[in-house]
Structure 1
Protein backbone atom coordinates (compact mmCIF):
# COMPACT_ATOMS: atom_id res chain seq x y z
CA UNK A 1 0.00 0.00 0.00
CA UNK A 2 1.45 3.34 -1.05
CA UNK A 3 1.09 6.34 1.22
CA UNK A 4 1.38 8.66 -1.77
CA UNK A 5 -1.69 10.57 -2.83
CA UNK A 6 -3.10 9.54 -6.19
CA UNK A 7 -4.78 12.26 -8.24
CA UNK A 8 -6.71 11.00 -11.25
CA UNK A 9 -8.13 13.59 -13.62
CA UNK A 10 -10.32 13.55 -16.70
CA UNK A 11 -10.33 16.69 -18.80
CA UNK A 12 -11.78 17.91 -22.09
CA UNK A 13 -10.91 21.62 -22.08
CA UNK A 14 -8.00 21.47 -19.63
CA UNK A 15 -9.82 22.77 -16.55
CA UNK A 16 -9.68 19.48 -14.64
CA UNK A 17 -6.04 19.03 -15.59
CA UNK A 18 -5.31 22.55 -14.31
CA UNK A 19 -7.04 21.76 -10.99
CA UNK A 20 -5.17 18.46 -10.70
CA UNK A 21 -1.81 20.10 -11.43
CA UNK A 22 -2.45 22.89 -8.92
CA UNK A 23 -3.59 20.42 -6.25
CA UNK A 24 -0.54 18.20 -6.83
CA UNK A 25 1.84 21.17 -6.69
CA UNK A 26 0.39 22.45 -3.42
CA UNK A 27 0.43 18.99 -1.81
CA UNK A 28 4.06 18.51 -2.85
CA UNK A 29 4.90 21.90 -1.31
CA UNK A 30 3.49 20.50 1.95
CA UNK A 31 5.99 17.63 1.68
CA UNK A 32 3.57 14.96 0.49
CA UNK A 33 4.27 12.44 -2.25
CA UNK A 34 1.78 12.82 -5.09
CA UNK A 35 1.15 10.88 -8.28
CA UNK A 36 -1.06 12.61 -10.85
CA UNK A 37 -2.44 10.70 -13.83
CA UNK A 38 -4.76 11.48 -16.71
CA UNK A 39 -7.65 8.98 -16.81
CA UNK A 40 -6.76 8.40 -20.46
CA UNK A 41 -3.43 6.88 -19.35
CA UNK A 42 -4.31 5.52 -15.90
CA UNK A 43 -4.73 1.87 -14.97
CA UNK A 44 -7.86 1.51 -12.81
CA UNK A 45 -5.98 -1.00 -10.64
CA UNK A 46 -3.89 1.94 -9.36
CA UNK A 47 -6.81 2.74 -7.07
CA UNK A 48 -6.11 -0.46 -5.13
CA UNK A 49 -2.52 0.61 -4.45
CA UNK A 50 -3.11 3.98 -2.78
CA UNK A 51 -4.52 5.09 0.57
CA UNK A 52 -5.73 8.45 -0.75
CA UNK A 53 -7.42 8.96 -4.12
CA UNK A 54 -8.54 12.34 -5.43
CA UNK A 55 -10.72 12.33 -8.55
CA UNK A 56 -11.00 15.56 -10.52
CA UNK A 57 -13.15 15.22 -13.60
CA UNK A 58 -15.30 17.09 -16.02
CA UNK A 59 -18.44 15.77 -17.68
CA UNK A 60 -18.69 15.91 -21.45
CA UNK A 61 -21.87 16.46 -23.43
CA UNK A 62 -24.87 14.68 -21.96
CA UNK A 63 -23.29 13.05 -18.91
CA UNK A 64 -20.38 11.32 -20.63
CA UNK A 65 -16.84 10.95 -19.29
CA UNK A 66 -14.16 13.11 -20.92
CA UNK A 67 -12.56 11.95 -24.17
CA UNK A 68 -10.01 9.25 -23.46
CA UNK A 69 -11.43 8.53 -20.00
CA UNK A 70 -14.08 6.06 -21.17
CA UNK A 71 -12.12 2.89 -20.32
CA UNK A 72 -11.19 4.13 -16.84
CA UNK A 73 -14.79 5.23 -16.23
CA UNK A 74 -16.16 1.89 -17.39
CA UNK A 75 -13.75 -0.09 -15.20
CA UNK A 76 -14.41 1.92 -12.04
CA UNK A 77 -18.05 2.99 -12.42
CA UNK A 78 -19.75 0.44 -14.65
CA UNK A 79 -17.75 -2.72 -13.88
CA UNK A 80 -16.69 -1.84 -10.35
CA UNK A 81 -16.12 -4.74 -8.00
CA UNK A 82 -12.82 -3.54 -6.56
CA UNK A 83 -12.20 -3.74 -2.82
CA UNK A 84 -11.29 -0.18 -1.91
CA UNK A 85 -11.95 -0.51 1.81
CA UNK A 86 -8.40 0.66 2.55
CA UNK A 87 -8.80 3.93 0.64
CA UNK A 88 -10.05 7.41 1.39
CA UNK A 89 -11.25 9.66 -1.41
CA UNK A 90 -12.68 12.99 -2.51
CA UNK A 91 -14.18 14.06 -5.84
CA UNK A 92 -14.21 17.44 -7.55
CA UNK A 93 -16.69 17.43 -10.44
CA UNK A 94 -16.55 20.13 -13.09
CA UNK A 95 -19.45 20.74 -15.43
CA UNK A 96 -21.84 23.18 -17.02
CA UNK A 97 -25.30 23.79 -15.59
CA UNK A 98 -26.48 24.34 -19.16
CA UNK A 99 -26.58 20.54 -19.51
CA UNK A 100 -29.21 18.27 -17.96
CA UNK A 101 -26.57 15.83 -16.67
CA UNK A 102 -24.58 18.46 -14.74
CA UNK A 103 -21.39 16.90 -13.30
CA UNK A 104 -22.72 13.36 -13.87
CA UNK A 105 -19.29 11.82 -14.43
CA UNK A 106 -18.00 13.09 -11.07
CA UNK A 107 -21.21 12.08 -9.31
CA UNK A 108 -20.84 8.58 -10.79
CA UNK A 109 -17.23 8.28 -9.58
CA UNK A 110 -18.20 9.50 -6.11
CA UNK A 111 -20.94 6.87 -5.81
CA UNK A 112 -18.80 4.08 -7.29
CA UNK A 113 -15.86 4.65 -4.94
CA UNK A 114 -18.16 4.62 -1.92
CA UNK A 115 -19.95 1.49 -3.15
CA UNK A 116 -16.58 -0.24 -3.47
CA UNK A 117 -15.74 0.51 0.16
CA UNK A 118 -13.66 3.69 -0.01
CA UNK A 119 -14.22 6.28 2.72
CA UNK A 120 -15.25 9.75 1.57
CA UNK A 121 -13.11 12.38 3.34
CA UNK A 122 -14.89 15.40 1.86
CA UNK A 123 -18.29 15.81 0.23
CA UNK A 124 -18.26 15.97 -3.55
CA UNK A 125 -18.09 19.50 -4.88
CA UNK A 126 -20.00 20.25 -8.09
CA UNK A 127 -18.47 23.20 -9.93
CA UNK A 128 -20.03 25.12 -12.80
CA UNK A 129 -18.00 26.83 -15.53
CA UNK A 130 -16.81 29.47 -13.03
CA UNK A 131 -15.03 26.87 -10.91
CA UNK A 132 -12.40 28.88 -9.01
CA UNK A 133 -14.34 29.35 -5.75
CA UNK A 134 -15.73 25.78 -5.59
CA UNK A 135 -12.27 24.40 -6.42
CA UNK A 136 -10.68 26.44 -3.63
CA UNK A 137 -13.41 25.29 -1.19
CA UNK A 138 -12.84 21.63 -2.14
CA UNK A 139 -9.06 21.92 -1.93
CA UNK A 140 -9.17 23.67 1.46
CA UNK A 141 -11.48 20.99 2.88
CA UNK A 142 -9.47 18.09 1.50
CA UNK A 143 -6.16 19.56 2.68
CA UNK A 144 -7.56 20.08 6.19
CA UNK A 145 -8.64 16.44 6.45
CA UNK A 146 -5.34 15.17 5.06
CA UNK A 147 -3.37 17.33 7.51
CA UNK A 148 -5.47 16.10 10.44
CA UNK A 149 -5.19 12.44 9.48
CA UNK A 150 -1.46 12.59 8.84
CA UNK A 151 -0.88 14.31 12.20
CA UNK A 152 -2.91 11.64 13.96
CA UNK A 153 -1.13 8.88 12.03
CA UNK A 154 2.28 10.34 12.89
CA UNK A 155 1.51 10.58 16.62
Structure 2
Protein backbone atom coordinates (compact mmCIF):
# COMPACT_ATOMS: atom_id res chain seq x y z
CA UNK A 1 0.00 0.00 0.00
CA UNK A 2 0.94 3.64 0.20
CA UNK A 3 3.18 5.55 2.53
CA UNK A 4 1.70 8.17 4.85
CA UNK A 5 3.91 11.04 5.92
CA UNK A 6 2.96 12.09 9.45
CA UNK A 7 3.92 15.74 9.91
CA UNK A 8 4.12 17.17 13.41
CA UNK A 9 3.85 20.74 14.66
CA UNK A 10 4.34 20.70 18.43
CA UNK A 11 5.29 23.14 21.15
CA UNK A 12 5.16 21.16 24.39
CA UNK A 13 5.27 17.60 23.02
CA UNK A 14 1.64 16.47 23.30
CA UNK A 15 1.24 16.65 19.53
CA UNK A 16 4.21 14.33 19.12
CA UNK A 17 2.41 11.79 21.32
CA UNK A 18 -0.73 12.19 19.20
CA UNK A 19 1.25 11.52 16.00
CA UNK A 20 2.91 8.47 17.53
CA UNK A 21 -0.48 7.16 18.72
CA UNK A 22 -1.81 7.17 15.13
CA UNK A 23 1.12 5.20 13.73
CA UNK A 24 0.16 1.66 14.88
CA UNK A 25 -3.41 2.08 13.57
CA UNK A 26 -2.19 3.26 10.18
CA UNK A 27 0.41 0.51 9.88
CA UNK A 28 -2.08 -2.16 11.00
CA UNK A 29 -4.28 -1.00 8.09
CA UNK A 30 -1.43 -1.85 5.69
CA UNK A 31 0.16 1.55 5.16
CA UNK A 32 3.76 2.47 5.88
CA UNK A 33 4.49 5.63 7.84
CA UNK A 34 7.24 8.10 8.48
CA UNK A 35 6.98 10.72 11.22
CA UNK A 36 8.54 14.12 10.57
CA UNK A 37 9.04 15.95 13.86
CA UNK A 38 10.52 18.93 12.00
CA UNK A 39 8.76 18.88 8.62
CA UNK A 40 10.57 20.26 5.58
CA UNK A 41 9.13 20.44 2.07
CA UNK A 42 12.48 19.27 0.65
CA UNK A 43 11.98 15.89 2.36
CA UNK A 44 8.69 15.24 0.52
CA UNK A 45 8.29 14.25 -3.13
CA UNK A 46 5.58 16.61 -4.33
CA UNK A 47 5.79 15.29 -7.89
CA UNK A 48 4.27 11.95 -6.84
CA UNK A 49 1.04 11.17 -5.04
CA UNK A 50 1.33 12.11 -1.40
CA UNK A 51 -0.66 11.14 1.69
CA UNK A 52 -0.11 13.31 4.74
CA UNK A 53 -1.51 13.19 8.23
CA UNK A 54 -0.72 16.49 9.90
CA UNK A 55 -0.85 16.79 13.68
CA UNK A 56 -0.47 20.42 14.71
CA UNK A 57 -1.05 22.39 17.87
CA UNK A 58 -1.82 26.08 18.09
CA UNK A 59 0.71 28.28 19.84
CA UNK A 60 0.32 31.81 21.17
CA UNK A 61 -2.28 33.90 19.38
CA UNK A 62 -3.18 31.27 16.79
CA UNK A 63 0.35 30.68 15.53
CA UNK A 64 2.11 27.57 14.28
CA UNK A 65 4.56 25.95 16.68
CA UNK A 66 8.20 26.95 16.16
CA UNK A 67 9.14 23.60 14.60
CA UNK A 68 6.38 24.04 11.98
CA UNK A 69 6.79 27.70 10.97
CA UNK A 70 9.37 27.11 8.25
CA UNK A 71 7.27 24.30 6.77
CA UNK A 72 4.13 26.48 6.71
CA UNK A 73 6.12 29.23 5.01
CA UNK A 74 7.43 26.75 2.44
CA UNK A 75 3.86 25.65 1.71
CA UNK A 76 2.65 29.22 1.32
CA UNK A 77 5.35 29.87 -1.29
CA UNK A 78 4.21 27.00 -3.53
CA UNK A 79 2.27 27.78 -6.69
CA UNK A 80 -1.47 27.20 -6.77
CA UNK A 81 -2.22 23.58 -7.73
CA UNK A 82 1.34 22.49 -6.89
CA UNK A 83 -0.15 20.20 -4.25
CA UNK A 84 -2.78 18.65 -6.52
CA UNK A 85 -1.22 15.21 -5.90
CA UNK A 86 -1.70 15.57 -2.15
CA UNK A 87 -4.43 14.07 0.00
CA UNK A 88 -4.26 14.90 3.67
CA UNK A 89 -5.87 14.72 7.07
CA UNK A 90 -5.40 17.20 9.91
CA UNK A 91 -5.54 16.75 13.65
CA UNK A 92 -5.58 20.07 15.47
CA UNK A 93 -4.82 20.35 19.16
CA UNK A 94 -5.81 23.38 21.18
CA UNK A 95 -7.45 24.86 24.25
CA UNK A 96 -11.06 26.01 23.86
CA UNK A 97 -10.52 28.68 26.52
CA UNK A 98 -8.85 30.73 23.77
CA UNK A 99 -10.51 32.48 20.82
CA UNK A 100 -7.83 30.99 18.59
CA UNK A 101 -8.81 27.38 19.38
CA UNK A 102 -7.06 25.11 16.83
CA UNK A 103 -6.43 28.14 14.63
CA UNK A 104 -3.14 26.73 13.29
CA UNK A 105 -4.93 23.59 12.04
CA UNK A 106 -7.74 25.63 10.49
CA UNK A 107 -5.28 28.02 8.85
CA UNK A 108 -3.27 25.10 7.47
CA UNK A 109 -6.40 23.38 6.16
CA UNK A 110 -7.31 26.51 4.20
CA UNK A 111 -3.75 26.95 2.89
CA UNK A 112 -3.52 23.37 1.64
CA UNK A 113 -6.91 23.62 -0.05
CA UNK A 114 -5.86 26.85 -1.77
CA UNK A 115 -2.75 25.06 -3.07
CA UNK A 116 -4.83 22.29 -4.68
CA UNK A 117 -4.62 19.58 -2.02
CA UNK A 118 -7.63 17.47 -1.05
CA UNK A 119 -8.56 16.75 2.54
CA UNK A 120 -9.65 13.25 3.53
CA UNK A 121 -12.48 13.31 6.05
CA UNK A 122 -13.16 16.18 8.40
CA UNK A 123 -10.66 18.34 10.22
CA UNK A 124 -10.37 16.72 13.65
CA UNK A 125 -9.84 18.97 16.63
CA UNK A 126 -8.85 17.94 20.13
CA UNK A 127 -9.68 20.24 23.02
CA UNK A 128 -7.20 19.71 25.84
CA UNK A 129 -9.80 21.04 28.28
CA UNK A 130 -12.12 18.07 27.71
CA UNK A 131 -9.39 15.64 26.56
CA UNK A 132 -6.37 16.18 28.83
CA UNK A 133 -4.68 13.16 27.24
CA UNK A 134 -4.98 14.06 23.53
CA UNK A 135 -3.61 10.76 22.25
CA UNK A 136 -6.67 9.00 23.73
CA UNK A 137 -8.97 11.22 21.66
CA UNK A 138 -7.07 10.57 18.44
CA UNK A 139 -7.24 6.79 18.89
CA UNK A 140 -11.03 7.09 18.84
CA UNK A 141 -10.92 9.13 15.60
CA UNK A 142 -8.12 7.52 13.56
CA UNK A 143 -10.06 4.35 12.54
CA UNK A 144 -12.70 6.51 10.85
CA UNK A 145 -10.03 8.50 9.00
CA UNK A 146 -8.37 5.27 7.86
CA UNK A 147 -11.69 3.98 6.50
CA UNK A 148 -12.15 7.25 4.55
CA UNK A 149 -8.58 6.87 3.29
CA UNK A 150 -9.11 3.27 2.19
CA UNK A 151 -12.15 4.27 0.12
CA UNK A 152 -9.91 6.62 -1.85
CA UNK A 153 -6.90 4.33 -2.24
CA UNK A 154 -8.67 1.09 -3.21
- The TM-score range, normalised by the shorter chain, is 0.7 to 0.9
Residue 80 and residue 144 in structure 1: after superposition, are their counterparts in 2 closer, same or farther (change >3 A)? Answer: same
Q: Does 1:145 align with 2:148?
A: yes
Conserved in 1, the CA contact under 8 Å of 2:18 and 2:135? no
Superposed CA offset, 1:91-145 (max 9, x none): 1100011222111111111111111111111111121101456524531221111
Conserved in 1, the CA contact under 8 Å of 2:25 and 2:143? no
Conserved in 2, the CA contact under 8 Å of 1:3 and 1:50? no
Superposed, which structure 2 residues align to 1:1-155 within 5 Å? 3-38=2-37, 40=38, 42-45=39-42, 46=44, 48=46, 49-76=48-75, 78-81=76-79, 83-129=82-128, 130=131, 131=134, 134-150=137-153, 152=154
Number of residue pairs the alignment of both structures matches = 147
Which stretches in structure 2 are left out of the alignment for 5+ residues?
none
Give TM-score, length-normalised by structure 1: 0.83
SS of residue in 2 equivalent to 1:72? helix
Which stretches in structure 1 are left out of the alignment for 5+ residues?
none
Q: 1:24 & 1:50 partners in 2: Cα distance?
A: 20
